[in-house]
């Protein structure tokens, strides 16, 4: 009646069960607070609090989030508080954003109502490619 099978069953991972592929971004929820630097080769969505530097491919920051540290990304959409410098090729500053620090960008969009206390510096060519070079190093590509 109750017999043990000699075959061991392997657990099914959620991704293989649904056929889903690897998640294209990482999410830091509103109830999460991180102290330390973050490096991600993928996109990053932050709704919580980060006290440390962030380097990622693309950053999306929620309106209730807080980043205290330097941000380096190929593209960034900021809606919360950032206390630190920002380097991005493409930057969107939403109306709820509050930035204290210098901003270096290649392309920028600033919505009415946002606040930036710092110096804005436009970069062209190779100078703006610095975030991409840092991202290649994070991803393990030594030919930067």
pLDDT of residue 124: 84
Residue 101 contacts residue 82 (beta carbons within 8 Å)? yes
Closest CA to 101 of 57, 71, 140, 76: 71
Helix (H) or strand (E) holding 136: helix 130-139
How does DSSP assign 41-54, residue by residue?
SSEEEE-SEEES-E
pLDDT tens, position by position, 83-134: 999 999 999 999 999 999 999 999 999 999 999 999 999 998 654 445 555 5
Whether residue 143 is predicted with pLDDT greater than 90 in this model: the reply is no
- Asked whether the predicted pLDDT for residue 6 surpasses 60, the reply is no
The domains of the chain are located at: 25-132
């Amino acid at each position: 009646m109750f017999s043990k099978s000699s075959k061991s069953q392997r657990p099914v991972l959620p991704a293989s069960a649904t056929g889903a592929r690897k998640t294209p971004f990482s999410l830091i929820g509103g109830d999460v607070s991180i102290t330390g630097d973050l490096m991600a080769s993928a996109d990053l969505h932050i709704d919580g609090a980060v006290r440390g530097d962030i380097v990622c491919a693309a950053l999306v920051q929620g309106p209730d989030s807080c980043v205290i540290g330097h941000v380096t990304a190929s593209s960034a959409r900021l809606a919360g508080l950032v206390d630190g410098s920002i380097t991005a090729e493409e930057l969107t500053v939403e109306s709820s954003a509050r930035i204290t620090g210098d901003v270096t960008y290649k392309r920028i969009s600033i919505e009415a109502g946002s606040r930036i206390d710092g110096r804005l510096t436009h970069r062209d060519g190779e100078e703006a490619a610095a975030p991409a070079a840092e991202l290649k190093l994070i991803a393990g590509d030594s030919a930067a």
